Structure 1
Amino acid sequence: MALMSCRNLTIFYENTCAVKDVSFDIEAGDYICIVGENGSGKSTLVKGLLGLIPLRAGVVRCGEGLSPTAIGYLPQQTVVQKDFPASVYEIALSGCLGRRGLRPFYGAEDRKKTLENLKRMGIYDLRGKSYRDLSGGQQQRVLLARALCATDRMLLLDEPVTGLDPIATTELYDLIGRINREQGVTVVMVSHDFRYAIEHGGKILHMDRELLFYGPTKAYLKSDACRRLTGGMGK
């Protein structure tokens, strides 16, 4: 069974149909880039997979022992969130909330996992600093560490490099790729960076409210959906 199976998903956002009758499967180890024009339903789809927006129709099923509470999520940041006064360590540790179950406090394993993920993200030395005082790239590393504290199976990332400078963008993409390759974490990422998506994504999911394409990147480059998005760039 697939790690996540999505069938006939229809999702409304602010009384408008944003996702219409979309079906696809996510396999363990996939690196999926979700592409499409602005307003095509990409972020709404991800929120629907997480249950943050109710489905108007369809079903999302988790398989292979995946729990909905064990999916790491990195949303688009708001201005208010960027100014959050908690420490780097506290924010990363909060990713363990879904793993606590009925336990009222964080345990030793939660704290150990948090420190390990801060080291993986190269921000262990920043653990005592205020999140609000970090650069944009550092903040995204903290949020990625937080998402990893929630899971060792699957990450859902919503345009994680928005607003970052080219160096920070490259570094964050490199971290995400290593998480997928070296840790075997399944990655599903909404991306406005088409060039990155086709160079690094193993599969492309192209949205325009409906599903225009889903499959291997090499096949996508030869598809009508790719030519539609790029104006003829597809091969």
Structure 2
Amino acid sequence: MNLITCKNISFVYDGVPAVKDLDFSVEPNDYLCIVGENGAGKSTLVKGLLRLKKPASGTIHMGNGLLAKEIGYLPQQTAVQKDFPASVYEVVLSGCLNRLGLKPFYTKREKELANENLQKMGITKLKNRCYRELSGGQQQRVLLARALCATKKVILLDEPAAGLDPVVTQNLYELIRQINEDMGITIIMVSHDIHAAVQYAKHILHLCHSQLFFGTTEDYRNSEVGSRFIGGVSHA
């Protein structure tokens, strides 16, 4: 059963369609990359998948017992968020908030989970450092560890490599690949980087206010829209 199935969904702001007629699905252990130009509807779709915005039409169905609150989310960082005055451990542990339910405090299990994910992301030595003192690449590892605390199934990443230098970006993409392949966690990533998308993703969803393409990465490479964007420019 698909983790997420979107059927003919559209989103509207003030009566004006932001993105329409989307029809795609996300399988367990999938790696879907959502690409498109600025204003194409990518961020709107992210809000829809997180249940922060209701579709004007169509349906979003989540299978395999997945709940929207169980999607680990790594948002685009603002300058204020990058300057957040908390320890690395506190940021990672906050990914367990949805697990608390009615409990007022983190339990031993949540604290163990935070430490496990710090280790998985290779940032245990940074545990007591202030988040805002870290480099951009280190901050993204912290946020990935936080997202892993929130989910066992799906991580949704919105432009995770924005503002990072090429070497750090490559390392980040490799880390995301490991999360997908070694941990079996489904990845949904919004990106401007078409070339990285076709290198790592299993499926591509290309938006331009509507759905230009959805299918396997190989089919995307061979499609008219794929060959146009891959061959012509490095960013879409």
**TM-score tier after normalising by the smaller chain length:** over 0.9
Shift of 1:213: 0.9
| Aligned positions of 1:92-131 closer than 5 A | 92-131=92-131
C-alpha separation between the residues in 1 aligned to 2:42 and 2:68? Answer: 19
Query: How far is 1:13 from its partner?
Result: 4.2
State the AA in 2 paired with 1:80. Answer: V
Q: CA deviation at 1:16?
A: 3.8
* CA deviations over 1:68-91 (Å, ceiling 9, x no partner): 111100010001000000110001
1:155-177 Cα offsets, whole Å, 9 max, x none, are 10001010011121111111100
C-alpha contact (below 8 Å) 1:41/1:208 kept by paired residues: yes
Whole-Å Cα distance in 2 between the matches of residues 49 and 24 of structure 1?
A: 12
> Hey, what's the Cα distance between the residues in 1 that align with 2:170 and 2:232?
26
SS in 2 for 1:5: strand
Report runs of 4+ in structure 1 exceeding 6 Å deviation: none
Q: 1:187-202, aligned counterparts within 5 Å?
A: 187-202=187-202
TM-score between both structures, scaled by the size of structure 2: 0.94
Is the Cα–Cα contact under 8 Å of residues 13 and 44 in structure 1 kept in the other structure? no
Q: 1:185 & 1:87 partners in 2: Cα distance?
A: 26
Give, in whole Å, the separation in 2 of the partners of 1:92 and 1:9: 33
Q: 1:29 to 1:86 in 2, by over 3 A?
A: same
For 2:67 and 2:184, locate their aligned partners in 1 and report how far apart those are by CA, in whole Å.
Answer: 17
Determine helix, strand or coil for the equivalent of 2:182.
Answer: helix
CA distance in 2: counterparts of 1:127 and 1:217, whole angstroms: 37
Report the counterpart of residue 210 of structure 1 in structure 2. 210
Match of 1:152 in 2: 152
SS at match of 1:64: coil
Q: Which runs of 5+ in 2 are unaligned?
A: none
Cα distance, 1:125–1:191 mapped onto 2, change above 3 Å: same
**2:55 paired with 1:51:** no
2:64 aligned residue:
64
Other-structure match for 2:40: 40
- CA drift of 1:229 comes to 2.6
Q: What's the secondary structure of 1:204's corresponding residue?
A: strand
Deviations 1:119-166 (A, max 9, x none): 111111111111010001111111111111000100100010100111
Match of 2:133 in 1: 133
Q: Write the letter of the residue equivalent to 1:116.
A: E
What is the DSSP-based 3-state SS (H/G/I as helix, E as strand, rest coil) of the residue aligned with 1:149? helix
Alignment RMSD (CA, Å): 1.4
What is the CA–CA distance in structure 2 between the aligned matches of 1:225 and 1:43, rounded to whole Å?
21
Rounded Cα–Cα distance in structure 1 between residues aligned with 2:14 and 2:181: 37
Structure 1 stretch displaced more, 65-74 or 14-23: 14-23
SS at structure 2 position matched to 1:183 = coil
Q: What is the distance in 1 between the residues matched to 2:34 and 2:71?
A: 17
Structure 1 residue 197 displacement after superposition: 0.6
Establish whether residue 3 from structure 1 lines up as the match of residue 3 from structure 2.
yes
TM-score norm. by structure 1 comes to 0.95
Q: Is the 8 A contact 1:114 1:149 kept in 2?
A: yes
Between the aligned partners of 2:15 and 2:231, the Cα distance in structure 1 is 31
| Counterpart AA for 2:59 | V
**Ranges in structure 1 where 5+ consecutive residues have no aligned partner:** none
